[in-house]
Amino acid sequence: MTWHTFFAAFSNSYLWYLPTAYFLVWALQGGYLLWMAIQWSRSGKAGIRK
Amino acid sequence: MAMQTTPSTRRNVLRAAILFWTAATLVVLVIGFREAIFLVPAEATMGNLQRIFYYHVNHATLGLVFPYINCFASLAYLYWRRRDPLKALAADAWAVASAELSVLYVSIGLVTGILWARPAWGVWWAWDARLTTYLLLWLLYVAYMITRQFSSTGQGHTLAAVLSIFAAIDVPITFMSISWWRTQHPAPVLRGDGKLDQVFWPAVLWNFAGWAMWGALVLVFRYALERRRQRADQQAALEAIEASLELTR
């Protein structure tokens, strides 16, 4: 597979599941990490004692 | 002669270790992606669609590992909660961190499995033993999170710890279900008769290592965040007590 065929798979009725699955994984993992980073920075601003 | 370490030295060492681990994780994930999409050949029956497998199998498997961390942490919490509340708090932080990771990895295992099932089987879902017990595991952890989040009596953490034991019982049943019963889900492909061809293993192993390293990193980060929250709660409670003492004077 190449980058081209990977992205082109989005418009293929049989293959669209493949890039969708990969992007969903990145979105869920990245989204969770981002949520934690936001919580971390907020808790720092709230003046958490160490 | 033993070297003395100050808190700031320890913090710098920890920061360097986390940076190194993060960089190594990203490198391994990039190698894993490259192997899965560009390097290993397409599978004979399903073609390129089979490449979903390289993200599905490691998330689904790691989704069976984090519940055990959660179970051990929960048992430690139940043991320490009356004997040593400070140790119980640390155990509870590991418990909530691993529970959230369990929800995340099992959710991804389910979603990627569903996206595999539709083109491969012609249906989004099949109520076979593997899928049903895996869904049950997800439901148990959602119940765990809801119990912790919405219990107002202070018993939520204890009830959730008990739920984690039920989840840990479900894990080996889920793992063995494809060997014990005939299922729509494929029989074991990493072991047994239908073992995966050698040519596909680099993609499996690199992605497994990458997502395991990522999971460990996120687990530690979530634990640190929970410890921060606990310290803030303790401090707020102390300040409330001090304020009430001031009023009584």
**From the list B37, B107, B221, which residue is nearest A6 (CB)?**
B37
B213 lies within 8 A of chain A by CB: no
- What pLDDT does residue B140 have? 95
CA distance B243 to B249: 10
Angle made by CA atoms B106, B120, B141, in degrees to the nearest 5: 10
Q: B119 — alpha (psi -120 to 50), left (phi > 0) or beta?
A: alpha
Selected residue with higher pLDDT from B184 and A50: B184
Q: Does residue A46 register a pLDDT over 80?
A: no
**From the list B38, B52, B218, which residue is nearest A33 (CB)?**
B218
Domain boundaries of chain B, sorted by first residue: 56-226
- What pLDDT does residue B123 have? 92
Residue B27: CB partners within 8 Å, gap ≥ 6? none
Q: Does residue A6 register a pLDDT over 70?
A: yes
Number of domains present in the structure of chain A: 1
CB pair distance less than 8 Å for B56 and A22? no
Q: B118 to chain A: which residues are within 8 Å by CB? A: 17
- What pLDDT does residue B192 have? 63
CA distance B205 to B28: 10
| Residue ranges of chain B with per-residue pLDDT less than 50 | none
In a domain, A50, yes or no: no
B70 lies within 8 A of chain A by CB: no
Domain that holds residue A15: 3-45
CA distance to A7, B37, B96, B210, per residue, from A3 (Å): 6, 9, 38, 21
CB pair distance less than 8 Å for B59 and A36? no
B59 lies within 8 A of chain A by CB: yes
- What pLDDT does residue A50 have? 43
pLDDT in tens, B31-62: 999 999 999 998 888 889 999 999 999 999 99
Instruction: Tell me what the pLDDT averaged over chain B comes to.
Output: 90
Interface of B with A in 220-249 (CB under 8 A): 221-222, 224-225, 228-229, 231-232, 235
CB pair distance less than 8 Å for B218 and A9? no
Name the token pair of B66. Answer: 């984090």
Q: Which of A2, A5, A10, A49 to mutate to test the interface with B (most CBs of B within 10 A)?
A: A49
Residue B141: CB partners within 8 Å, gap ≥ 6? B67, B99, B102, B103, B106, B167
Q: Which residues of B113-148 are buried (b: 16+ CB within 10 A; e: fewer)?
A: bbbbbebbeeeeeeebbbbebbeebbebbeebbebb
- What pLDDT does residue B37 have? 94
Q: What is the ipTM of this complex?
A: 0.89
In a domain, A12, yes or no: yes
- What pLDDT does residue A1 have? 86
pLDDT in tens, A10-40: 998 889 999 999 999 999 999 999 999 999 9
Is the Cα torsion angle B132, B107, A1, B29 positive or negative in sign?
negative
